Structure 1
Amino acid sequence: MGRLDRLDIKQLRVFQALIREENASKAASQLGLTQQAVSEHLKKLRDVFDDRLFVRKTNGFVPTPFAQDLSIKVDKLLIDFSALMANSRFSPEKAKGTFVISATDYAQQVILPPLIAKLRLQAPKLKLIVRDFEIDTLHDLMESGKVNLAIAFPDYIPQSYRVLKLFEEHHVCVTSSRSSISGKKPSLAEVAEYPTIIASPSRPNFKGSIDDWFSQFGLKRNVVISAPCFSIVPMYLETTDSIAFLPSRAIESLDVVTIPLDHSPDSFDVIAAWHPRYHDDPLQQWVVSLLEVE
């Protein structure tokens, strides 16, 4: 019997809950199972995938690297399965009304163009609203149904929401080809001293997510400009002798130069999230199933 024949949906839901909770007791409570049942399902999963999947820690589990990669595929598979089951009562070409997506500036550049293309092609009667991501009002907007889907980063999303990890991203250090640092290989200390532009769309200030990474090396960045969005930063780089740390996928078509570093900032997840109240909505499931997961 093949390994696929030994898998069932319940096992994958257990895996998904363990990834989210990193605790067998909490996963069991979420699924309405006993902790023993969760342990039995985990034992079968380990046998099927030939990997420990989770390593015990003091108060729960830590997923193995294989499990972390597998979780992206499992999330996508379960969403696609839900959409498949909903297809009998949902036809995209007949879908009407308005679907509202709240997205970060980054997501609007990188993720939404292909998603919107699919939505327009397959659901031409469905109207779309894309609004800027508002971290302080997101929960109220989604609780009231004024926003159907959020595309952002995990730190911005309430823990109770349903989440689909789309891919991992990382920052790269960039500058204009005309800057004085272009073409050089500076030390990390020199990079920290160089005039820096940050994008701070949620709360305007001079501190970004990269600052904590620099502090690990005992360094503090010389931030001189805070911009409201990622997309405007390359234009500022063109007119100032400065650098910036931007997500790698957001610079693929931009006229910027990458500065090589001896160390790289930690990667981060890009996710889609929605209120659990609307998880079983056929339109919601279908839209989420169109998101590209890597």
Structure 2
Amino acid sequence: MNLDRIDLNLLRVFNVIFEERNLLRAGKRLNLSQSAISHALGRLREALGDDLFVRSADGMQPTPRALTMSAPLRAALQQIGSALGNEPFAPATTERDFVIAANDYMTVLLLERLSQHMQQQAPNTNLIVRPSTRIDLAGQLDLGRIDIAIGVFAEVPPRFASMPLWTQTDALAMRHGHPLAARDVTPQDLAAYPLLAVSLGGAEEGAVEGFISERGLARESEMFDRAALEAATAPHAPRFRLLVPHSLAVPSLLKASDMLAVLPSSLARLFAQREGLHTAALPYASRTAQVRAVWHSRNENDPAHAWLRDLLPGFVPQ
């Protein structure tokens, strides 16, 4: 195809429609009317000989041709922006929204203090937190709807960049005054007492060995090392009285029972400090998990994005 026949502004329109899947929202982002967006899309369809997007109940769905075009086109637009020079980023005056995906306890551990810092240093920014447990993280990162995803990942595809934030293992938590609080916990105790753990999806949702893979990004679904626990209590199977999807519900559930909770060590420390729970070491060695920040590599040289990434390590739990 002769590139001279394509108005490069149409490619910007394509990119925004692909991200928004809605002509009205695309028009608002580009400061264009819906009719102007429709006209631009029509010109691009005619030039490429493809519908590119098809209306559906879920919005404008991309055709196979559009899906093939999207990633290299976004990368090319990013390169053009870099070649022309990025606008200097001034935290004190920027009005940018930052979108981070994280589960509930990581939001408390990391983003609570980060939000306070941003309020002081970048008062006009907005920090939007999306749940990392019920959305297609990889797809949202691909579309630019999430800036950074924070979590434990078994695999990170090469189109994404990442950095480690902190490491954690498993620990035990129980109510203050629990019968086991005065002595070391044994594997037999873990088989005898009912257990509580945080599970964000099991095999019925496609989890394999505690991880759910979406578009190559494998995120943690069970927030404990099930294999190590089952090996330690064999030949008896541990009894999970409760598997909950929200970790911040754990303290109230423990305070009213003799259940033992198997939790990430960073979360157990948080509950000990804020909720008065008793924590103990497990009587077996569990895996060491690394909490990472993941972002799309096309944002590597975005000054605002780099500013946010550079902040994160300063607020990791100790």
Q: If the length of structure 1 is used for normalisation, what is the TM-score?
A: 0.64
- Which residue matches 1:232? 249
Give the aligned partner of residue 3 of structure 2.
none
User: What's 2:127 paired with?
Assistant: 128
Q: 1:115 — aligned with what?
A: 114
Which structure 1 residue ranges, 5 or more long, are not aligned?
Answer: 1-85
Between the two proteins, the alignment pairs up a number of residues equal to 209
Deviates most, 227-236 or 185-194 = 185-194
Q: CA deviation at 1:175?
A: 0.6
Shift of 1:141: 1.1
- Give the distance between the partners of 1:115 and 1:207, measured in 2 at CA: 26
Matches of 2:112 and 2:142 in 1, distance apart?
26
- Structure 1 contact 109–250 (Cα < 8 Å) conserved: no
Aligned-residue offset at 1:202:
4.5
Amino acid at match of 2:136: T
1:256 aligns with 2:277: yes
Shift of 1:186: 3.0
C-alpha contact (below 8 Å) 1:204/1:228 kept by paired residues: no
* Corresponding residue for residue 3 of structure 1: none
Can you give the 5+ residue segments of structure 2 that lack an aligned partner in the other structure? 1-84, 205-220
Partner of 2:258: 241
CA distance in 1, matches of 2:203, 2:247: 13
Aligned partner of 1:221: which letter?
Answer: P
- Code of the residue aligned with 1:236 in structure 2: it is L
The letter for the 2-side match of 1:228 is P
Letter in 2 for 1:168: T
Native 8 Å contact 1:211 1:221 kept in 2: no
- On the 8 A contact 1:194/1:242 being kept in 2, the answer is yes
Which of the residues 207, 211, 225 maps onto 1:210? 225
In structure 2, what is the equivalent of residue 166 of structure 1? 165
Q: Which amino acid aligns with 2:280?
A: I
What's the counterpart of residue 97 of structure 2?
98
- Report the CA distance between 1:182 and its aligned residue: 2.9
Structure 1 residue 193: Cα displacement: 3.2
Per the alignment, do residues 161 and 108 of structure 1 end up closer, same or farther by CA in structure 2, a change over 3 Å counting? same
TM-superposed CA distance for 1:247, in Å, is 2.2
| Structure-2 change in CA distance of 1:114 and 1:202 (3 Å) | farther
Shift of the alpha carbon at 1:87?
10
8 Å Cα contact 1:99-1:127 kept in structure 2:
yes
Q: Within 2, Cα distance between the matches of 1:175 and 1:235?
A: 11
Q: Percent identity?
A: 23
When structure 1 is superposed on structure 2, of 264-273 and 175-184 the one drifting more is: 175-184
Q: Which amino acid aligns with 1:120?
A: Q
SS of residue matched to 1:185 = coil
Q: In the alignment, what sits opposite 2:80?
A: none
CA pair 126-261 structure 1, distance change in 2 beyond 3 A: closer
Distance 1:286 1:207, change over 3 A: closer
Greater shift, 87-96 or 273-282, is seen at: 87-96
2:159 counterpart of 1:144 = no
SS of the residue 1:285 aligns to: helix
Query: Using the alignment, how far apart are the partners of 1:263 and 1:239 within structure 2?
Result: 26
Aligned-partner Cα distance in 2 for 1:226–1:256: 19
Which structure has the greater CA radius of gyration?
Answer: 2
* Distance in 2 (alpha carbons) for counterparts of 1:204 and 1:120: 41
Residue pairs, 1:62-81, within 5 angstroms: none
In structure 2, do the counterparts of structure 1 residues 87 and 182 end up closer, same or farther at CA, with 3 Å as the change threshold? farther
- 8 Å CA contact 1:183–1:259 kept in 2: the answer is no
1:284 aligns with 2:299: no
CA contact (8 A) 1:90 1:283 kept: yes
Structure 1 Cα separation of the partners of residues 178 and 188 of structure 2: 18
The one of 253, 263, 270 equivalent to 2:291 is 270
CA contact (8 A) 1:118 1:290 kept: no
Distance 2:281 2:133 in 1: 33
1:44-59 map, 5 Å: none
With over 3 angstroms needed to count, the CA separation of the structure-2 counterparts of 1:261 and 1:209, relative to structure 1, is closer
Q: Partners of 2:262 and 2:246 in 1: how far apart?
A: 12
Residue 185 of structure 2 contacts residue 283 of structure 2 at CA under 8 Å; is this kept in 1? no
- Following superposition, the deviation at residue 114 of structure 1 comes to 1.8
